Amino acid sequence: MDFWRNAVCLLKDCLFPVFCFECQTEGKWWCEKCIKKYAITGVYYCPICHIDNNSGQPCNHCKVVSPLNGVAAFFNYNNHNVVGELIKQYKYNFAFDISSVWNMLIDLYLINIINKMNIDVNSLTIIPIPLHKRRERERGFNQADMIAKKIYRTLICERKVEFDNRNFLRKKYTQQQAKLSREYRLSNLKEAFVWCGKNPAPKNILLIDDVFTSGATMQECSRVLKKFGAQKVYGFTLARD
Ligand SMILES: [Zn+2]
Ligand SMILES: [Zn+2]
């Protein structure tokens, strides 16, 4: 897979050279110079009512009903046209080389954000939001999985971090959440996920996805993981909608 992915990237580079969205420099979708113009300190918000705060923990009002212990992202999707465009290209146009942009963001800014969320990185398991096998085949890859692997590689230095993309599964082929109304999103997710790893599930979990929209998917994943014994579950995405 990696071989073909690289071959496709190389071919695409020759046929359709890439230019920075902001400054048109050739070779990068979004160059380091342009990224560094922004103060990327993360966006933090209550996982239920989505009101901004400083740590991503649920507000006092929502604390009792939120299985998620905290969420954060690099950006607000809507304030950043570049990021929205990059995520779309990445997800639907097989522009795998955009992952170099995510990698740069993760290298530069992730650890500060994790610290601000008060996550214990000395016993943390990173888990990507799973795609159903059929959806993964349709799309060719799971973008959440690729981002999660990079986050794992970044956090592993001198810390006891683990990565698990085998034991948390999506067993129901659901309709795409983005196309559904709010009420349908929840019923669509019913019994969609299962933990089939050792029992209890890891104590401290960081779930990874590309975008946080209603949060229904991430909340349902947290609920299931806690049912199987997880104690704290956090979420991190590239952007929030
Ligand atoms: Zn640039
Ligand atoms: Zn709230």
Assess contact for 43 and 240: CB atoms under 8 A.
yes
User: Under CATH, which architecture does the 42-240 domain have?
Assistant: 3-Layer(aba) Sandwich (3.40)
The kind and range of the H/E element at 70 are: strand 70-76
pLDDT at 9: 63
φ, ψ at 43 (rounded to 5°): -120, 135
- The mean per-residue pLDDT over the stretch 40-68 comes to 97
pLDDT confidence bin for 2, thresholds 50/70/90: low
Residue-wise pLDDT for 229-239, tens only, equals 999 999 999 99
pLDDT, greater one: 19 or 233: 233
For the ranges 25-39, 154-168, 194-208, the maximum mean pLDDT occurs at: 194-208
pLDDT at 81 over 80: no
**Two tokens at 17?**
């050279």
In 3D space, the residue among 194, 193, 198, 203 whose CA is nearest the CA of residue 230 turns out to be 203
- Cα(53) to centroid(ligand 2), Å: 9
**Two tokens at 103?**
């990698």
- Cα(67) to centroid(ligand 2), Å: 12
- The mean per-residue pLDDT over the stretch 33-55 comes to 95
Q: Which ligand has the nearest atom to the CA of 37?
A: 1
Residue 202 CA to residue 90 CA, distance in Å, equals 30
Query: Which DSSP category does 212 fall into?
Result: E
- Cα(84) to centroid(ligand 2), Å: 25
pLDDT at 97: 83
**Two tokens at 71?**
């969420």
Using only C-alpha atoms, the chain has a radius of gyration, in whole angstroms, of 18
Residue 218 CA to residue 191 CA, distance in Å, equals 13
- The mean per-residue pLDDT over the stretch 125-135 comes to 95
Collapsing DSSP states into helix, strand and coil, what is residue 141?
Answer: coil
Q: Which ligand has the nearest atom to the CA of 31?
A: 1
Residue position matching structure tokens 């929205």: 84
pLDDT at 48 over 90: yes
CA distances 194 to 1, 54, 120, 170, 186, Å, are: 26, 31, 24, 7, 16
Assess contact for 51 and 45: CB atoms under 8 A.
yes
Q: Which ligand has the nearest atom to the CA of 82?
A: 1
Q: What is the pTM of this model?
A: 0.90
Residue 21 CA to residue 17 CA, distance in Å, equals 12
